[in-house]
Amino acid sequence: MGSRKSVNDLAASPTSPATSATEWSAEQSARTYQIEGWGTPYFSVNDEGHVIVRPNPGDGREIDLFELTDDVRERGIELPLLVRFEDIVSHRIGVLNENFKTAMAECGYAGGYRGIYPVKVNQQRHLVETIVASGREHDYGLEAGSKAELLIALAVTGRDAIIVCNGYKDASYIETAFLAQRFDKQVFVVLERAEELDIAIRAAKRLGIKPTLGVRAKLSARGVGRWADSAGDRAKFGLTKAELVGVVDRLEAEGMLDCLRLLHFHIGSQISSIMPFKSAVREAAHLYVELSKLGCPLGFFDVGGGLAVDYDGSKTDYKASRNYTLAEYAADVVTEVQDACREADVAEPDIITESGRATVAHQSILLFEVVGESAVRFGEPTEPTEESHRVLHELYATCLGVMPKNVQESWHDACHAKEEAQSLFRYGYLRLRELAQAERLYWHCCERIMNTCERLRTVPEELEGLRKDMAATYYCNFSLFQSAPDVWAIDQLFPIMPIHRLGECPDVRATLADLTCDSDGCIDHFIDAEDERDTLELHALEDGRPYYLGMFLNGAYQEILGDLHNLFGDTNAVHVKTTKNGYEITHVIKGDSTKDVLRYVQYQPAEMLESVRRQAERALADSRINIKQMRLLMRHYESALSSYTYLSTEEEFPPSGGSFPPK
C-alpha cells in the first residue's frame, strides 16, 4: 500500500476495535466508519443511531436515511435501491462554481469560468436533467464522449449552453455537431486524432459552415494512479505537439484558422495529488500561449476532469482520496493560466472544467440488505473423551492454553494439529465426526489467538491475516457487478456502513458477499484513514429485524459500467428532493424485471412460459405432479418473469397444501 502525504489533519481518528457491547454511542460509530472524513457536509449520524443526509448543507434540513428507506419500502419499492439526492447535485455544482469565481476574483482574472458535466460519468436521464436545471444559473454545460452522448447533450441543454464534443468521431458525429452550432448554444468539436481534421474540413465544406473547433493535446505531464496513462507521450487520446502544429498549418492553408477556439487536455480521473495537475496546467497553459502566437484565436482553455473524490476521508494523496481542497484546485488552475498568459501578453481565456466524479459521486447511495451470514463461531469448545484420538486432546489443550506470551506458539501448534488430523483422515485413522471436531477445535484456537492478539501492542506478522480468516461473511441482496463494478474491476474503495443501529456496538467483523455465483462478487477491502481494512465492523444479525447497509459516494461511473452477471439487472432508483416540510420523491425508476433481462439475452418470456407449461402438463399426465403443484409452479414462473431480479423478502406463495410425492 502506498504511503500517504497529507496536507490537512485527518478528520477522523483511526478506530480501535469494538470492545464493550453496552457502552457505545452514535459518535463512536461515526468515528468507526469515519463518516466525518468522507461524508462532510452531506452525511452524519444522529442520536438515534441513524445516518442522516443534509442534501443542502447549511439550510438546516436533514433526512433520516433509515426512515427514508422504510418510507420507500412502504411504497412497494424494494432494495437494493439507489437513492439520488437532487439537492446534492445542485450543491456540488454551486460549490465548484463558487470556488472558481472566488479564485478568479482574488487574482483579478480577466476570463470567465464555464463548468461542464461529462455525460459519460452517469448518463441517467433524470440525473442529467437535474444537472442541466441546476447548472442553468452558472451557464453549466455538457461534455459528450460519443455520438449517443452528443444526442443527449443536444436534446437536454438550453440556450447559451456549452457542449464540448470529445471522443472518436465519424462524419455523421461531426456533421451533427456542426449543424447544431447553428443553434443558440456553443458547440465545440474537439479533434482527438489527426484523422478527424480531414473529416471535419470536408464536412465544413459540404455544409458551408465555419465550425467551432477544439484540439485535445497530448501532454508530457502525466497524471497519477489508475488513469496515469490517460496523459503522457504514449497516451491513447490527443494530438502530439507535432500533430498540433500540423493542424494549425492545415487550418491556415484552408483559411479556417479562426475556427480553432479551444485547447483541451485530460490527464485522467481521480487525480489524488495536486502536483500532477499543476504541472499539466502549466504545460498546457504554455501550449495555449504558443498556439495563440501562431495565430489561433482560441479563447477557451479546457482542463478536462480528474478532480478527485475523498472516498476514504483521509485527505491524503492515497488513490481513494485527494490531498487538496476544491479551493486549492481552483486557485492553482486559475493562477497557472494567468501567469503563462500575462507573461506572454496573451488574453486570459475562459476556463472550462469537465469534473464528473466530483459532481455526481456524492448524490447517490446504494442501499442493500444483509440477508444471511456465515461465521466461524462455535460457542464453547467440547472436551474430547478418553477414547478420542490424541490429536483432539492436543488441540483442546492448545485452545485452553492460549495467552499473550505464547500466541505464536499456540498458532503453530494449532496449525500443526489440524494438518495432522487431515492427514490421519486421508489414511483412514480418523472418522468423519472426529475430523469435524478437530476442525471446530482448530477454529476455537484461532478465535482465542485472535482475541489475545487484540490485546497485544505488536501482532506477529504471520497472524495479521487471521482476523480476515476469522471474519464472518455477510450475504447481501445486491450484485457487485451491477452496482459497484469498479470494486471488482479496479479495487475501488467506497465508504460502506450500516444506516441504522449506530448506537449499538458493531462487534462482528465481516466481509460482504453479493448474490452472484462468483467468488469475485465480494467486498473485502474497506476504507481506513491510515490504510485499507480487510473487514468491516458490523452488527450481529437479529431474527426478524432487517439490517441495511449503505454504499456511499457511488454516483460516478458505477451505474453504466454495471453488467448483468447472473442476470441481476438494474436496481430500483428514486430521486429525492427536499421540501419545506421534509422531502418529496420526484422520480421512481423501476429496476429491471426478469423479463427485461431475459429479453436482453434474446429469450422470449411468452415462449419460455409455454415450454414450461407443456412440460408441466406432461408431468401431470404421468402423475409426477398434481394439479395444485402444477398451478403453483406456473404461478411462480409467471410471477418470477415479472418481478425484480433480486431476492424478495416477502413470501409470495405460502405453502398451499401440496404434498410430495403427489397424491
Q: Scanning residues 116 to 145, which ones bind ligand PLP (CB under 6 A)?
A: 118, 121, 143
Closest distance to ligand PLP from the beta carbon of 591 (Å): 25
Closest distance to ligand PLP from the beta carbon of 311 (Å): 13
Of 22-30, 263-271, 448-456, 491-499: span binding ligand PLP (CB under 6 A): 263-271
Closest distance to ligand PLP from the beta carbon of 264 (Å): 7
Of 299-307, 546-554, 587-595, 603-611: span binding ligand PLP (CB under 6 A): 299-307
Closest distance to ligand PLP from the beta carbon of 223 (Å): 9
Q: Scanning residues 427 to 466, which ones bind ligand PLP (CB under 6 A)?
A: none
Closest distance to ligand PLP from the beta carbon of 358 (Å): 6
- Residue 384 within binding range of ligand PLP, rule CB under 6 A: no
Helix (H) or strand (E) holding 53: strand 51-53
Residue 4 grid coordinates: 500517504
Closest distance to ligand PLP from the beta carbon of 595 (Å): 34
Q: What is the 3 state secondary structure string of 308-322?
A: CCCCCCCCECCCCCC
Of 218-226, 300-308, 466-474, 528-536: span binding ligand PLP (CB under 6 A): 300-308
Q: Between 270 and 410, whose beta carbon lies closer to ligand PLP?
A: 270
- Residue 166 within binding range of ligand PLP, rule CB under 6 A: yes
Closest distance to ligand PLP from the beta carbon of 202 (Å): 25
Least Cα distance to 485 among 570, 410, 560, 580 occurs for 560
- Residue 304 within binding range of ligand PLP, rule CB under 6 A: yes
Closest distance to ligand PLP from the beta carbon of 406 (Å): 51
How many residues interact with ligand PLP (rule CB under 6 A)? 17
Q: Between 111 and 304, whose beta carbon lies closer to ligand PLP?
A: 304
Residue 625 grid coordinates: 405432479
Closest distance to ligand PLP from the beta carbon of 270 (Å): 6
Closest distance to ligand PLP from the beta carbon of 119 (Å): 10
CA distance 203 to 165: 15
Closest distance to ligand PLP from the beta carbon of 474 (Å): 30
> Is 594:149 a contact under the CB 8 Å cutoff?
no
Beta bridge pairs of residue 189: 165, 213
Q: Between 209 and 327, whose beta carbon lies closer to ligand PLP?
A: 327
Radius of gyration, CA atoms only, the chain: 30
> Is 116:350 a contact under the CB 8 Å cutoff?
no
Coil, strand or helix: which one is 173?
helix
Q: Between 256 and 351, whose beta carbon lies closer to ligand PLP?
A: 351
| Closest residue by beta carbon to ligand PLP | 305
- Residue 555 within binding range of ligand PLP, rule CB under 6 A: no
Coil, strand or helix: which one is 251?
helix
> Is 201:247 a contact under the CB 8 Å cutoff?
no
Residue 340 grid coordinates: 503563462
The DSSP letter of residue 463 is G
Residue 321 grid coordinates: 482520496
- Residue 115 within binding range of ligand PLP, rule CB under 6 A: no
Q: Between 119 and 421, whose beta carbon lies closer to ligand PLP?
A: 119
Q: Between 263 and 556, whose beta carbon lies closer to ligand PLP?
A: 556
Among 266, 362, 389, 501, indicate the residue that binds ligand PLP (CB under 6 A). Answer: 266
For residue 648, give every residue at least 6 positions away whose Cβ sits within 8 Å of its Cβ, in sequence order, or none.
78
- Residue 319 within binding range of ligand PLP, rule CB under 6 A: no
> Is 60:80 a contact under the CB 8 Å cutoff?
no
Of 52-60, 266-274, 383-391, 438-446: span binding ligand PLP (CB under 6 A): 266-274
Q: Could you tell me where the beta strands, DSSP code E, fall in 360-507?
A: 364-374, 472-476, 496-498
Closest distance to ligand PLP from the beta carbon of 648 (Å): 35
- Residue 223 within binding range of ligand PLP, rule CB under 6 A: no
Phi and psi based region of residue 459 (left: phi greater than 0; alpha: psi -120 to 50; beta: remaining): beta
Q: Between 91 and 533, whose beta carbon lies closer to ligand PLP?
A: 91
Q: Scanning residues 325 to 364, which ones bind ligand PLP (CB under 6 A)?
A: 354-358
- Residue 533 within binding range of ligand PLP, rule CB under 6 A: no
Closest distance to ligand PLP from the beta carbon of 10 (Å): 24
- Residue 306 within binding range of ligand PLP, rule CB under 6 A: yes
Closest distance to ligand PLP from the beta carbon of 116 (Å): 9
Residue 565 grid coordinates: 452477471
Residue position matching grid coordinates 404421468: 622
Beta bridge pairs of residue 186: 162
CA distance 402 to 405: 8
Q: Which long-range contacts does 199-203 make (Cβ < 8 Å, 24+ apart)?
A: 199/169, 199/170, 199/171, 199/174, 200/174, 201/250, 201/254, 201/256, 202/171, 203/171, 203/174, 203/175, 203/178
Q: Between 118 and 550, whose beta carbon lies closer to ligand PLP?
A: 118
Vertex 135 angle, CA 132 and 137, to 5°: 130
Chain centre to alpha carbon of residue 273: 20
Phi and psi based region of residue 373 (left: phi greater than 0; alpha: psi -120 to 50; beta: remaining): beta
Return the half-sphere exposure (C-beta side, CA atoms, 13 A cut-off) of residue 487: 29
Least Cα distance to 42 among 443, 455, 495 occurs for 495
Among 124, 269, 410, 594, indicate the residue that binds ligand PLP (CB under 6 A). Answer: 269
- Residue 49 within binding range of ligand PLP, rule CB under 6 A: no
Chain length of the chain: 663
Of 103-111, 304-312, 334-342, 455-463: span binding ligand PLP (CB under 6 A): 304-312
Residues that bind ligand PLP (CB under 6 A): 118, 121, 143, 166, 266, 269-270, 304-307, 354-358, 556
